[in-house]
Structure 1
């Protein structure tokens, strides 16, 4: 089963979900603004994505203003995303032990 970490207010996230629905794959939709992501889950997603935590941060969000001029450890960056899930780049699509940030949504093909 494919999992998408989804924000319905985000056009890119809606495009990713629509793409999966068009492919007729079974999708588990996690609305991460409503269902907070734990620190452990976020660490797991970052490992699957094979990126540094800062690469998952939406640095233009207002919530990042308090953090942007600080030297933050990876753990502190993850804590910031747990506290402010709006900071998490979206959508994240997971298929087993593979994951992508589906921007553009066509990146989903890489893990199907």
Structure 2
């Protein structure tokens, strides 16, 4: 099953949703700002993405710059930061079974569908 982790306030996330809808396949829409990740879910998505947690962080967000930038943080601390501030999570994230991509650019979605 396809899942899109979506933030409707983000134009790139809205574009990703439109792209998913264009495939005419069933999918789950998860507005992660309204329904936050559990720690296990976020770790699972990071594993499926095949990246380190820092690669999922929006490092230009004010929260990151003010509270975390320049600090030595473990992967666990970075995950905790994203859980405490979901706005820090890069979006949209599209998961299809055991594969996932950050859909920037949108063409990345094609790699897992």
Residues 44-73 of structure 1: CA deviation (Å, up to 9, x unaligned): 001000000000000011111201121000
- Structure 2 residue runs of 5 or longer lacking an equivalent are none
CA-atom RMSD, angstroms?
A: 0.6
- Structure 1 residue runs of 5 or longer lacking an equivalent are none
Distance 2:23 2:71 in 1: 42
Aligned to 1:108: 109
Q: How many residues align?
A: 112
Distance 2:4 2:23 in 1: 14
Do structure 1's residue 46 and structure 2's residue 46 form an aligned pair?
Answer: yes
Do structure 1's residue 91 and structure 2's residue 73 form an aligned pair?
Answer: no
- Runs of at least 4 residues of structure 1 off by over 3 A? none
TM-score with structure 1 setting the length:
0.98
TM-score with structure 2 setting the length:
0.97
